[in-house]
Structure 1
C-alpha cells in the first residue's frame, strides 16, 4: 500500500530544515507522461504523509528532538514506523492514534501552510517544526503522485 508510488530518490538527503522552509532542492528523475518531471517539488497532485500536531511549540520541539537524536542529526531518514511511534506519543491530532498517518490527500484539501510544506517536502524527508492555523506540525512525506 503506497509502495507503488514514486521511488525514493536522493532528493531528500536528510535535509529536513530545507524541506520545512520550502527547500531549494528538486529532483529531475521524474517519469511524467507529459515530458515534465512528475517528482519536482510542488508539482504533484497527491501526497502521502504522516504528521505530528501539537498545540504548544514546546511539545512539538520535544517530538522533533526525539527525531533528531534518533536519525536526523546523523543525516538519516526517519523510518515511517519510528515516526509513527513518536506521533503516537506526542501528536494531539486524532491521526496520532494511527501514527500520524494522513494517507493520500489531494492538493487543495489541507489548509495553507500545511499544504505548502507537505507538497514541497521530498519523499522520505521529515520537516522541521512549523506553525499552521491548527498548531505546530512536523511532516514525514511518504509518497507523491499525479
Structure 2
C-alpha cells in the first residue's frame, strides 16, 4: 500500500503522478463534487501528450516546465494544447490532446490511475504506459 505511492511519486518527479495515497487525495480541489477526493470520481476530462520515445516526452515536459510548471504546476489548457499539437503522436494531438470526458474503466492501467489522481488544472509528470509515454492535464472531474 505505502510502497506504491512512494515509488510512483519518486519515479514521476511530480506530486500529481502519485498513486492515490491519502496525502495526495486530501490536496484535491477545484470543480470536484462535494465529498469527491482524488481518485473517487466517475468521470475525468483530460488532455494528454503521447510520444513513443521517452526523450521526446521529456522535451515536451521541459517546454511545459519552462513556460508554466515552474509557476505552480498550472498550465492553461490552451498552452498545453499548443505543446500537444507540436509533440503528441496520438491522433488527439491535432485537437490539442483533448480526450474529452471519459469514465473510470475506459483507459488502461497507469493512464487511468494518473488521470484520476491528478488535481484539476495540474499537469502530471511524464509516465509510461503500454502505448508509450504520456503527460496528462486534468481539466475536470465529476460523478
| TM-score of the superposed pair, with normalisation by structure 1 | 0.81
Instruction: Give the length in aligned residue pairs.
Output: 126
**What residue is the counterpart of 1:12 in the other structure?**
none
Q: Flag as ranges the 4+ runs of structure 1 deviating above 4 A.
A: 27-31
| Root mean square deviation, CA, Å | 1.7
- What are the ranges of 5 or more consecutive residues in structure 2 without an aligned counterpart? 1-12
Q: Is the 8 A contact 2:50 2:57 kept in 1?
A: yes
Distance 2:56 2:67 in 1: 17
**What residue is the counterpart of 2:52 in the other structure?**
55
SS of equivalent to 2:125: coil
- Are 2:127 and 1:130 equivalent residues in the alignment? yes
Cα deviations by residue, 1:40-61 (Å, 9 ceiling, x for unpaired)? 0000000000000000000000
- What are the ranges of 5 or more consecutive residues in structure 1 without an aligned counterpart? 1-15
* Aligned match for 1:140, one of 130, 137, 140: 137
**What residue is the counterpart of 1:109 in the other structure?**
106
| TM-score of the superposed pair, with normalisation by structure 2 | 0.83
Displacement of 1:28: 6.9
Relative distance call for 1:28 and 1:22 in structure 2 (3 A) is closer
